[in-house]
Amino acid sequence: MMKLKIKILLLTTGLVSLSTFIQAQSEGLTSSPYSLYGLGVINQTSIGKSNGLGYTGIGLKTETEINNLNPANFALVPQNSFFYDIGVTSEYNNYSNVGTSEGRTSLNFSNFAFAFRITEGLGAGITMVPYSDVGYTLVGLQSNIEGTTEFFESNVAGIGGLSDLRLNLGYEIVDNLRLGLAASFLFGSIEENEDFQISSSSFESTETTNYNGIRMGFGLQYDLLENVTIGSTLQFPTVLNGTLERYAMKNLDGSEIVVEDNTTSDASSFTMPLEVGVGLSGTLYKSLTLSADYKKNYWSATEQSENLGHYVDQDIYAFGAEYIKNKDSYKLSQRIRYRAGFNYDTGYLAIGNTRVKGFNLTTGIGIPLSKGTNSLLNLSYSYGSKGQIQNILVKEDYHLLTLNLSLEDLWFRKRKIN
């Protein structure tokens, strides 16, 4: 038990250290123009096979890997098993509006997680995923010089994002009913830099907004039949507190003057919405697993708005399928998992009367790494699109490649000696 506690402590410390490093190196994590709004682009990628299944998993019952989309599933972690999952993503984005288009590539950390069994019917896990990413650049913004008819141009860039460090607990009440509890610590920073020049004078400013807060959630899974499971999740609304740090400097005829030097003040808080989800999964002929999720996020109840838009209630529909010919076969080719999925998002932001909607088509495979454990190499690809070419709106098409190393470590099992 002492070794277990030490390993969990080391892994948790590693999670926080990794998150701190990622936040410090966050430039380039995304390049979406929609990351200008709110906390940035909300992350959709999950853990392990869910990325190839249209991001479904609320009603997905699995005993062989981590399912981060419903804390109730952690009750099924087998005795003497310790699961790890680490992932990275590479994304190519193409943006287009009236008359122009641009492409960019970015590389992201996608997750780090582990799960273990505490006692009979009780499992736990700690996961960390990016909650949101910010990475926008606005060049050549024109502003009027007060009292004159002249204009000047400024450049604005934003980087950063938030991380979600979550503790999950799952408990099996009876053989076919599991309950889950999730506690998330959301934290991170968003930095905005602005600079402009007029004649021989220039001005530079940096504003860094730091957010943090705790969010609670619940989950449930119930086995209707041996091969059919329903699930539900609930994420309670919460308020993220913010602090604002400012630094500003101007240059007049070669002389630098500090206007503000890391001045700290309270920033506007950000309200997270109530989120409700339901899911269903079923296995046919021991080879084909189908899953479907529906989520409703009540953003309009937060009564928040942006300069160019406002928040609206969001609906997310997701479907997935996984095929494996024979999971118990000694042939590797018959144990490979093939996946496909679809995800449709009505969007949580409306600019004018137009929602920023989006969809994803996903596919993936899970390659077993050994016969004796449930370790897998999960590779998934997603093509997605959101927004549209209309007025100031931008259409964003993207290709996302995700690689997850999902490992099982077997503990406290006696070795057999012939």
Of residues 395 and 220, which shows the higher confidence score?
220
Lowest mean pLDDT among 116-120, 183-187, 267-271, 409-413: 409-413
pLDDT in tens, 333-347: 999 999 999 999 998
- Give a three-class secondary structure readout of the chain: CHHHHHHHHHHHHHHHHHHHHHHHCCCCCCCCHHHHCCCCEECCCCCHHHHHCCCCCCCCCCCCCCCCCCHHHHHHCCCCEEEEEEEEEEEEEEEEECCEEEEEEEEEEEEEEEEEEEECCEEEEEEEEEEEEEEEEEEEEEEECCCCCCEEEEEEEEEEEEEEEEEEEEEEEECCEEEEEEEEEEEEEEEEEEEEEECCEEEEEEEEEEEEEEEEEEEEEEEEECCEEEEEEEECCEEEEEEEEEEEEEEECCEEEEEEEEEEEEEEEEEECCEEEEEEEEEECCCEEEEEEEEEECHHHHCCECCCCEECCEEEEEEEEEEECCCCCCCHHHHCEEEEEEEEECCCEEECCEECCEEEEEEEEEEECCCCCCCEEEEEEEEEEECCCECCECEEEEEEEEEEEEEEEECCCCCCCC
Average pLDDT over residues 102-125: 87
| The pLDDT value given to residue 240 | 92
238 pLDDT above the threshold of 70: yes
| The pLDDT value given to residue 418 | 46
Average pLDDT over residues 120-129: 93
140 pLDDT above the threshold of 60: no
Of residues 367 and 21, which shows the higher confidence score?
367
Q: Would you place residue 21 in the very low, low, confident or very high pLDDT band (cuts 50, 70, 90)? A: very low
| The pLDDT value given to residue 108 | 79
* Whole-number average pLDDT of the chain: 82
Q: Is the pTM of this model over 0.75?
A: yes
Percent of the chain clearing pLDDT 70 (strictly above) = 79
| The pLDDT value given to residue 101 | 63
79 pLDDT above the threshold of 50: yes
Residues 204 and 249 sit within 8 Å (Cβ to Cβ)? yes
The dihedral through the CA atoms of 175, 177, 178, 179 has a sign that is: negative
132 pLDDT above the threshold of 60: yes
| The pLDDT value given to residue 220 | 97
Of residues 308 and 225, which shows the higher confidence score?
225
Lowest mean pLDDT among 76-80, 151-155, 411-415: 411-415
